[in-house]
């Protein structure tokens, strides 16, 4: 049995995108066992995947700082013999761990993030679609002699108890099976990737005028939950999910939705990996960087064309402050544009109740 270590610590969307790749290489290589080093919060992504074990580093405790990383290396070494280390993160922390393994004589393969290509895209505004993140992950495995073919979504194996809790959530909110269910995820890590709550109110109004649907609000953090609560009371058919369900239960609920509308965010990735149609609204970032929703039509990614706004895209991750008071690229995407896209692709349907 070949045993390898795979490292991807954060962020949520990036960790979730390891799932289709890890499943692919395990399916193709029945003699392979993976020890995945990632944060404990992300464990539900890997439920019921065979031949995988998880190690959750204590990055704010035992494994904090350089000496903490050395302890993490030692802990991993003590847990058994490994043939290869695959670093899918490529940051200073994981590079230090990888170097320690390399010094100890274990081959290490690290991801090529395509930083030069992405910088050129930002500087030149010459838009061409780069490799998707999952392709970069898979190429890292292939460099180590481990092949795999990524299948189709859904990729998550949600635990039975989590599915039941999600079903109970629907029943407790008196939502019948025939009602159309739309997820809304209005937030992203950085402001240039946020469309704004008023736009969501206007979009809800447009949909409510012609369709009977139930909306489900996803997000996290106290401030976000308060904003979502303010949106919830806007209409009686809006239900707050954030803060009500555990991550595994949210994944189960996503799989029961008919549609997700989100920003360029982790929820976009979770929805697309759950195998449901996912419409996303893009601002300072661009799908061409390779972070687009896996398996979704490119037309499902709504954005102001780079040719219409010379400053876009302004950064890879949306962490660069906008030169305008509010992101103009987001202002140029109107609720009616999103609504028309939903109608064009027949993503809205009449409820069967």
pLDDT of residue 220: 86
Query: Among 188-192, 202-206, 238-242, where is mean pLDDT lowest?
Result: 188-192
Tens of pLDDT, residues 123-133:
998 899 999 99
Task: Please check whether the two domains, 2-143 and 161-344, share a CATH topology.
Answer: yes
Sorting pLDDT into bands at 50, 70 and 90, what band is 352? low
Closest CA to 120 of 313, 328, 324: 313
pLDDT over 90 for what percent of the chain?
93
Give the mean pLDDT of 135-149.
98
Q: Does position 351 have pLDDT exceeding 80, yes or no? A: no
Measured at the CA of 300, the angle between CA 44 and CA 189, to 5 degrees, comes to 50
Average pLDDT, the chain: 96
> Yes or no: is domain 161-344 CATH 3.40.50.2000?
yes
Residue 323 or residue 249, greater confidence: 249
Superfamily grouping for domain 2-143: Glycogen Phosphorylase B; (3.40.50.2000)
Report the run of H or E that residue 32 belongs to, with start and end. Answer: strand 32-37
Helix orientation angle between 335-344 and 197-210, rounded to the nearest 10 degrees: 40
- DSSP-derived pairing of the beta strands 2-7 and 84-87: parallel
SS3 248: helix
Question: How many CB atoms sit inside 10 A of residue 167's CB?
Answer: 14
Residue 219 is given by DSSP the state: -
Closest CA to 284 of 206, 158, 188, 184: 188
SS3 193: helix
pLDDT of residue 236: 95
Tens of pLDDT, residues 88-134:
999 999 999 999 999 999 999 999 999 999 999 999 988 999 999 99
Give the start-to-end residue ranges of the domains of the chain: 2-143, 161-344
The whole-angstrom separation of Cα 24 and Cα 149 is 5
DSSP characters for 56-121?
A: ---TTTTT-HHHHHHHHHHHHHHT---SEEEESS-SHHHHHHHHHHHHTT--EEE----HHHHHHH
pLDDT of residue 319: 93
Q: Does position 353 have pLDDT exceeding 80, yes or no? A: no
Tens of pLDDT, residues 12-56:
999 999 999 999 999 999 999 999 999 999 999 999 999 999 999
Contacts of 124 (CB under 8 A, 6+ apart): none
Q: Does position 349 have pLDDT exceeding 90, yes or no? A: no
Tens of pLDDT, residues 180-191:
999 999 999 998
């Amino acid at each position: 049995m070949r045993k390898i270590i795979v490292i991807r610590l954060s962020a949520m969307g990036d960790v979730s995108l390891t799932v289709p790749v890890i499943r692919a290489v395990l399916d193709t290589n029945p003699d392979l066992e993976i020890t995945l080093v990632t944060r404990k919060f992300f464990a539900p992504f890997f439920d019921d995947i065979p031949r995988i074990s998880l190690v959750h580093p204590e990055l704010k405790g035992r494994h904090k700082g350089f000496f903490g990383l050395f302890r993490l290396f030692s802990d991993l070494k003590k847990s058994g013999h490994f043939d290869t280390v695959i670093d899918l993160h490529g940051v200073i922390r994981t590079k230090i761990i990888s170097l320690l393994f390399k010094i100890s004589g274990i081959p290490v393969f690290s991801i090529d993030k395509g930083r030069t290509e992405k910088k050129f895209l930002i500087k030149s505004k010459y838009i061409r679609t780069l490799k998707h993140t999952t392709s970069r992950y898979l190429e890292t495995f292939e460099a180590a002699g481990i092949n795999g073919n990524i299948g189709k979504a859904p990729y998550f194996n949600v635990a039975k108890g989590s599915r039941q809790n999600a079903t109970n959530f629907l029943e407790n909110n008196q939502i019948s099976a025939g009602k159309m269910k739309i997820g809304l995820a209005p937030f992203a890590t950085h402001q240039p990737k946020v469309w704004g709550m008023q736009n969501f109110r206007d979009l809800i109004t447009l949909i409510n005028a012609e369709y009977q649907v139930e909306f489900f609000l996803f997000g996290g953090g106290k401030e976000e939950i308060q904003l979502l609560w303010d949106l919830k009371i806007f209409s009686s058919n809006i239900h707050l999910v954030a803060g009500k369900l555990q991550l595994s239960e949210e994944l189960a609920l996503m799989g029961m939705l008919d549609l997700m509308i989100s920003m360029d965010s982790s929820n976009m990735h979770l929805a697309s990996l759950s195998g449901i149609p996912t419409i996303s609204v893009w601002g300072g970032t661009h799908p061409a960087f390779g972070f687009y929703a896996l398996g979704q039509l490119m037309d499902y990614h709504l954005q102001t064309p780079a040719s219409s706004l010379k400053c876009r895209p302004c950064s890879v991750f949306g962490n660069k402050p906008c030169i305008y008071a509010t992101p103009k690229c987001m202002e140029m995407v109107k609720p009616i544009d999103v609504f028309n896209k939903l109608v064009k692709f027949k993503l809205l349907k009449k409820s069967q109740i």
